[in-house]
Chain A
Amino acid sequence: MRLKSKLFIGAGLAGLALWFASAPRGLTPGNWLPVEPDLARGEQVFNIGGCASCHMAKDAEGNERLVLAGGQAFATEFGTFYAPNISPSAEGIGGWSAFDLGNALLRGVSPDGAHYYPAFPYASYTRMAPQDVAYLKGYLDTLPPVATANRPHDLPFPFNIRRSLGFWKLLFLKNGPVVASDESRGQYLVEAMGHCAECHTPRNLLGGLDSARWLAGAPNPEGKGRVPNLTPGGDLANWSVDDIAYYLESGFTPEFDTAGSTMVEVVENLSQATPEDRLAIARYLKGLPALPNAPKP
């Protein structure tokens, strides 16, 4: 065989391997357990998961926070993402089953089998329990339907190739616990549902979370300043469990300064969680490996 055709076959095989490696991998329908609807639990998942913060209109208040037509823009170093419509309409996710929502949240895969971009924090949601996804779907179906078409993301090459996210997922989509913790509920709320690490953990060049610096603070993706270090070695070193829980409920620090930036929205959501869940989050954070703040750039 001539060298040229050997190379040709080699490249073809490599291409085929890459194509399979990058394929979207959804859940298998068999491991999906349907549950009895429970709207109260669904609402808890909705609030702790913070769905409204990204999918409502920017700065919406009161009942407008439940209108999930999408459209908010998120400018990142990879391009600008636009939150999709997740209201129960034809343009939103009205036609989806709980299984479809599970594929989106736990695997980052759409009902037509394409990868979602990880601006949608499925790298955290992947640790969620399937029954919580099913409760959430039941609750989302009770919200007002809106017929707003989704705006396509505005991404430059090569980030506009969705298939390439298959490789990103091979590297960064992991569903085990990140750190050892005695506080299992708090761990679940922080690492999975609340997706705190998406902002509070620094990312590497490929946009994956740096688990060696878990929750130790990060540059602010929206510009100035930095997102606080939540480990006992950083900004919260002198906060008690009660201080953290009170902050998550009220937005007041122990110094009675107020939450700022996007944390305002998070507090709005968590103020509706149960006191036990806020305490569980606080206990998990107090038990984290203490890491110092990153040096100022």
Chain B
Amino acid sequence: MNFRKTTLTTFTVFAVAASAFAASHSPITERQEAMKAVGGQMRTLGGMAQGKIEYDDLIAISALETMRDAAATAQQRFPEGSDMGAETRAMAAIWATDSDFDARMTQLIANLDAAIAAEPADVASFAPLFGAVAGSCKGCHEKYRAPEE
């Protein structure tokens, strides 16, 4: 193996490693992880709201807190131009000048904060708070997420 070839091989190895590192730490993968975390909590909370799972205020509040942290993380992971580079359903409209994406994210976090602060003791007081959170998820997905391929 001559020098040039070795250099090229080394360079290729580094380039592949670097791009793998970049992919696993890209805003796209990070926000997708955060969204998955949110989805997992939503299954617990939604089950309680539907009466499929018995309501437990401690579990509910802790799930809401996890969601709040994941939502705050996700909000930071939508830098301009991150609608490409990896597989993502985020629409370019998120970064348009008339976008209310950031305001919607802030509203979601506010709805989660309100639900946590209210410390709902029973499913009757929990359900409307959950409804507001779920409505935020839905509204933003409808406007800013492209249909599945």
Contact = CB atoms under 8 A, between A and B. Distances in A.
B141 A260 contact: yes
A260 B46 contact: no
Nearest to A268: B142
Given A255-B43, A256-B43, A225 B141 contact: no
Interface in A243-266: 246, 250-252, 254-261, 264
Contacts of A224: 146-147, 149
A258 B43 contact: no
Contact of B138 (A220, A225, A258, A261): A258
Interface string A209-251: 0000000000010001100000000000000001000100011
A257 B39 contact: yes
Contacts of B39: 255-257
Interface residues of B, number: 16
Contacts of B148: 225, 260
Contacts of A255: 39, 43
Contacts of B145: 260
Contact of B46 (A220, A252, A259, A264): A252
B50 interface: yes
Given A225-B148, A225-B149, A256 B46 contact: yes
Given A250-B134, A251-B138, A261 B50 contact: no
Contact of A258 (B142, B146, B149): B142
B147 A258 contact: no
Interface residues of A, number: 17
B28 interface: no
Interface SS of chain B: helix, strand, loop or mixed?
A: helix
A255 B137 CA distance: 13
Contacts of A264: 142
A61 to B, nearest CB: 11
A27 B74 CA distance: 58
B42 interface: yes
A246 B149 contact: no
Contact of B142 (A246, A250, A254, A260): A260
Contacts of A261: 147
B147 A260 contact: yes
B62 to A, nearest CB: 17
A220 B146 CA distance: 13
A257 B40 CA distance: 10
Given A250-B134, A259-B138, A260-B141, 11 more contacts: A225-B147, A225-B149, A242-B52, A246-B50, A251-B138, A252-B42, A256-B39, A256-B43, A258-B141, A261-B147, A264-B142
Interface of B: 39, 42-43, 46, 50, 52, 134, 137-138, 141-142, 145-149
30 contacts: A220-B147, A224-B146, A224-B147, A225-B147, A225-B148, A225-B149, A242-B50, A242-B52, A246-B50, A250-B134, A251-B138, A252-B42, A252-B46, A252-B134, A252-B138, A254-B43, A255-B39, A255-B43, A256-B39, A256-B43, A256-B46, A257-B39, A258-B138, A258-B141, A258-B142, A259-B138, A260-B141, A260-B147, A261-B147, A264-B142
Interface of A: 220, 224-225, 242, 246, 250-252, 254-261, 264
